[in-house]
Amino acid sequence: MINISNEHVFAEFLKEKIKERGYKLRELGRKSGVSYSYLSKIINGNTQNPPSPEVLEKLAEHLHCSYVELMQKAGYLSVVDKREVEYHLPAKETVILPVLKSIVRDKGIYDDTNILNYKKILSEELDSGEYFFLKVQSDLQSSRIRPGDLLLVKRQKNIENGDVAVFFCDDEEFFQELPQEKALVMRLYRVGNRFIIRPDCPELPLIILDKVKIIGKVVKVSFEP
């Protein structure tokens, strides 16, 4: 369950940021794509739930504050109660990340239609940056990762050779049978401006890609038992 912070605190924080940027509410709505009526409800504390991660992502870009900071204020990033637990060990901080079922081209990563649920993870498992979970829905062809496995993905535009990447590909010659609107997950190797997929089976040929847009890097896999 999302740890929803005090609505008044979030509303006051948003008011302060809007004032710092010198925006009128309608102007912010027009630039961010978030409706004026919804922004007004947030400011006045008239919403039952915090804005979605997708809305916060849009606002962060125009308010010149970090997406992570807005996620914290909205209650998506939480801290476990610090009361001592058994053996008198202090509780550890946790972060709540969205679990996505897919990433669809021309939609925000955190679009409501992409999100399955939310999952806690120890903050010590993450370094700086933005993360999300991705639930594998189909066979990935060149990887041991299978449907049902849960991927922890760090959002970034570049990868190292051999990284398992989440990406969009427009090379229709090689992916005629795959849905072009959804992101793929495969291990990539870079050669100049091209990427190469080396299938796990040595009998299969290499696949060379020209048109690739990296969304993130898979940093951890939880295999479905």
- Domain assignment present for residue 49? The answer is yes
For residue 120, the tally of other CB atoms under 10 A from its CB is 13
**Residue 49 maps to which CATH number?**
1.10.260.40
- Domain assignment present for residue 142? The answer is no
Token pair belonging to 201 = 């089976």
- Domain assignment present for residue 136? The answer is no
- Domain assignment present for residue 53? The answer is yes
Q: Distance between CA atoms of 6 and 4, rounded to whole angstroms? A: 7
Token pair belonging to 179 = 């849905």
- Domain assignment present for residue 17? The answer is yes
Considering the chain, what percentage of its residues have pLDDT values greater than 70? 79
- Domain assignment present for residue 67? The answer is yes
- Domain assignment present for residue 209? The answer is no
With CA atoms as reference, report the closest residue to 12 among 36, 43, 50. 43
Residues of the chain with pLDDT under 50: 1-5, 79-91, 141-142
- Domain assignment present for residue 204? The answer is no
Domain that holds residue 44: 7-74
The count of structural domains within the chain is 1
Helix (H, G, I), strand (E, B) or coil at 103: coil
Q: Distance between CA atoms of 70 and 91, rounded to whole angstroms? A: 24
